[in-house]
Amino acid sequence: MKTQNKTITLALTGASGMPYALRLLQCLLESGSRVYLLYSQAAQIVAKQEMELTLPSRPQEAQQMLCERYNVSPEQLKVFGRDEWFAPVASGTNPADAMVVCPCTMGTLGSIAAGLSDNLIERAADVMLKESRKLIIVPREAPFSVIHLENMLKLARAGAVILPANPGFYHHPQSVDEVVDFIVARILDHLGVEHQLMARWGDGE
User: Residue 161's closest CA among 190, 130, 132, 188?
Assistant: 190
* N-terminal to C-terminal alpha carbon distance within the chain: 24
Among the four given CATH numbers 3.30.565.10, 3.40.449.10, 3.40.50.1950, 3.30.70.20, the one describing domain 7-191: 3.40.50.1950
Burial of 4 (0-12, 13-18, 19+ CB in 10 A): exposed
pLDDT given for residue 204 in this prediction: 60
How many Å apart are CA 125 and CA 103, to the nearest integer? Answer: 14
Q: Enumerate the known binding-site residues for dimethylallyl phosphate.
A: 170, 186
pLDDT given for residue 61 in this prediction: 98
Three-state SS at 28: helix
Give domain limits for the chain.
7-191
pLDDT given for residue 205 in this prediction: 52
Q: Report whether the peptide linkage leading into residue 19 is cis, meaning its omega lies within 30 degrees of zero.
A: no
Q: Report whether the peptide linkage leading into residue 103 is cis, meaning its omega lies within 30 degrees of zero.
A: yes
Whole-angstrom CA distances from 125 to 15, 23, 89, 145, 202 are 17, 21, 9, 22, 35
Q: Enumerate the known binding-site residues for FMN.
A: 14-16, 40, 105-108, 140
Residue-level pLDDT, tens digit, the chain, 205 residues: 454 589 999 999 999 999 999 999 999 999 999 999 999 999 999 999 999 999 999 999 999 999 999 999 999 999 999 999 999 999 999 999 999 999 999 999 999 999 999 999 999 999 999 999 999 999 999 999 999 999 999 999 999 999 999 999 988 999 999 999 999 999 999 999 999 998 888 776 5
pLDDT given for residue 198 in this prediction: 86
pLDDT given for residue 4 in this prediction: 57
pLDDT given for residue 121 in this prediction: 98
Is 99 in contact with 131 (CB distance < 8 Å)?
Answer: no
Phi/psi of residue 99, each to 5°?
-135, 140
User: Residue 38's closest CA among 80, 74, 67, 2?
Assistant: 80
- Model confidence, pTM: 0.95
Is 83 in contact with 120 (CB distance < 8 Å)?
Answer: yes
Q: Enumerate the known binding-site residues.
A: 14-16, 40, 105-108, 140, 170, 186
How many Å apart are CA 44 and CA 72, to the nearest integer? Answer: 21
pLDDT given for residue 1 in this prediction: 40
